[in-house]
Amino acid sequence: MDDRIKPGHDDATNQPKLTANAEHIMAGAMPYYITTPIYYVNDAPHIGHAYTTIACDALARFMRLDGRRVKFLTGTDEHGQKVAKSAREAGVDPQEFCDRVSQNFREMTLLLNISNDDFIRTTEPRHIKACQVLWQELEKRGEIYRGSFAGWYSVRDEAFYEESELVDGKAPSGDDVEWVEEENYFFRLAAWQDRLLEFYDANPDFIAPKSRRNEVVSFVKSGLRDLSISRTSFTWGIKVPGEPKHVMYVWLDALNNYQTAVGYPDTKSEEYSTFWPANIHIVGKDILRFHAVYWPAFLMAAGLEPPRRVFAHGWWTVEGQKMSKRLQNVVAPPKLVEEYGVDAVRYFLMRELPFGSDGDFSRHAVVSRINSDLANDLGNLAQRVLSMIAKNCAAAVPQPGTLTAADETLLAASRGLLPRLRVDFAEQAFHRGLEAIWQVVSDANRYVDEQAPWALAKNDPPRMRTVLYVLAEAIRHIAILVQPVVPEAAAKLLDQLAVAPDRRDFAALAGDALVAGTALPKPQGIFPRYVVEKDGEKAGKGG
């Protein structure tokens, strides 16, 4: 039997009825559209990009395993002054430059085992068309007018700033600003202030975490100004329809990628009607304002639905410092994966910080997570149990006898995980979900110590078989549930339990159980210890 909660239905339409926060617990093929930011191609991918992408991947995988029809999008943001400047500095034509750097981001998705369904580039024809149609729609509805702009602009942030927002003559991000005076087109953002506030009110889960929501609400309450949405002082962008001297403001172009990928402007298409509005855009806190203020305003102004949720996560520093080329402390994903392995990197990033908080990436922290949580706790548990089964149960799933209270307790804890994780993942509290799983890992390790199956092997083999069966079943639950975060290791573990590839989704948690007598392959370690050599500098993977 499947223990998933079935959705209620709206009587009038017979469509599943959504409550603001309960959508996550629904089963069936409910669509789920999730996106990463599209990354600027001015620079190589680093751990910050990896972080957002891995979080989205974990959530996308979770939802797929939970029976949702998922669309997971990532890609690259290729227009604007910043990219044009980087191309110029590299002495390459901007398109060629974009092709090259975008490829690095595509490779990052392969390296990190990212399960995206599409990879969008804003220089693609499908996107250029989508942006031009969006522009025309806004124009038709009287949301755009021509004017002249004079103000501060930060090329690094690709953002306009008010004089009052500058801190010591710089952008609030600390980046340089330049004075810009141009004939531009404007979007009537100010007119959307009240409707945005009403929208936030009616959709309390739209911006997360809560503290960030409050920041956005006060920013909007403090008054919005119309937004310049075209530029004339450079050409690397999408041309404004009928105005070839103007290119669109890179954020209008970039945000619309989320719609392009589901078929906009064809709003009648199966893809668009299935997946729009997006369930969640996960972004860093640096770009929340664009996603939570400008984006819903553009969409509402064009008569389109805003996304359901925007989650702004925190910021990583490296060994206590801001990452910067000057400090040469930029952490490149290939180096990390080479050193620690892809699953360890994914696990560390999802477990170390409450999603939403800032944190520090240090070698020490990574190594201690690998050795304690992965190698000692989960790795050891699996190794102990599987090798005892191999040795004492003729390498097959043992036959359990009558279950004791202790057995039932461990099995109940394992079965209790999925409903908890549904809540944690719906709230993007990945760390909390992992903590709950590791609580069961530690219950299982304690159970091994208490039941001492090695002693039972001598004096009570039937009881030993029951204990090992209960443990194998607990490990099956754990392995299925850790798939979103550590997909490779989970697959190895499930292979070792001879769980068929099509019996690894969440429906199989309650629907299946290990079958006594099933032959098991030879056990192999899944999480090696990370050995740090004595001088603390050189390190290598241990066995």
Interaction site with ligand ME8 (CB under 6 A): 37-40, 48-49, 51-52, 77, 254-255, 257, 283-284, 286-287, 315-316, 323
Question: Smallest distance from the beta carbon of 111 to ligand ME8, in angstroms?
Answer: 16
Question: Smallest distance from the beta carbon of 170 to ligand ME8, in angstroms?
Answer: 17
Measured torsion, CA atoms of residues 363, 174, 172, 360, in degrees rounded to the nearest 10? 10
Q: Which of 204, 200, 150 is nearest to 178 (CA)?
A: 150
Closer CB to ligand ME8, residue 48 or residue 453? 48
Closer CB to ligand ME8, residue 126 or residue 245? 126
Can you read off the two tokens belonging to residue 195? 């409707």
- Provide the residue count of the chain: 543
Cα dihedral sign, 332-338-343-349:
negative
CA 485, CA 348: separation in Å to the nearest integer?
A: 10
Closer CB to ligand ME8, residue 94 or residue 400? 94
Question: Smallest distance from the beta carbon of 77 to ligand ME8, in angstroms?
Answer: 3
Measured torsion, CA atoms of residues 322, 328, 334, 337, in degrees rounded to the nearest 10? -60
Closer CB to ligand ME8, residue 241 or residue 284? 284
- Other beta carbons within 10 Å of 31: 17
CA 387, CA 389: separation in Å to the nearest integer?
A: 5
Question: Smallest distance from the beta carbon of 281 to ligand ME8, in angstroms?
Answer: 8
Question: Smallest distance from the beta carbon of 126 to ligand ME8, in angstroms?
Answer: 16
Question: Smallest distance from the beta carbon of 102 to ligand ME8, in angstroms?
Answer: 12
Question: Smallest distance from the beta carbon of 82 to ligand ME8, in angstroms?
Answer: 9
Closer CB to ligand ME8, residue 72 or residue 530? 72
Closer CB to ligand ME8, residue 4 or residue 213? 213
Report the relative pairing of strands 539-541 and 316-318 from DSSP bridges. Answer: unpaired
Report the relative pairing of strands 69-77 and 31-40 from DSSP bridges. Answer: parallel
> Which residue's Cβ has the minimum distance to ligand ME8?
48
Closer CB to ligand ME8, residue 250 or residue 381? 250
Question: Smallest distance from the beta carbon of 37 to ligand ME8, in angstroms?
Answer: 4
Closer CB to ligand ME8, residue 283 or residue 478? 283
Contact 134, 276 (CB under 8 A): no
- Other beta carbons within 10 Å of 388: 22
For 310-429, where are the alpha helices, taking DSSP H only?
Answer: 333-340, 342-352, 363-369, 380-392, 405-415, 417-426
Closer CB to ligand ME8, residue 254 or residue 375? 254
Question: Smallest distance from the beta carbon of 97 to ligand ME8, in angstroms?
Answer: 15
What letter does residue 147 receive in the DSSP assignment?
A: E
- Up-side HSE of residue 313: CA atoms within 13 Å toward CB? 28
Q: Which of 512, 271, 280, 266 is nearest to 397 (CA)?
A: 512
**Which residue reads 């330049």 in tokens?**
178
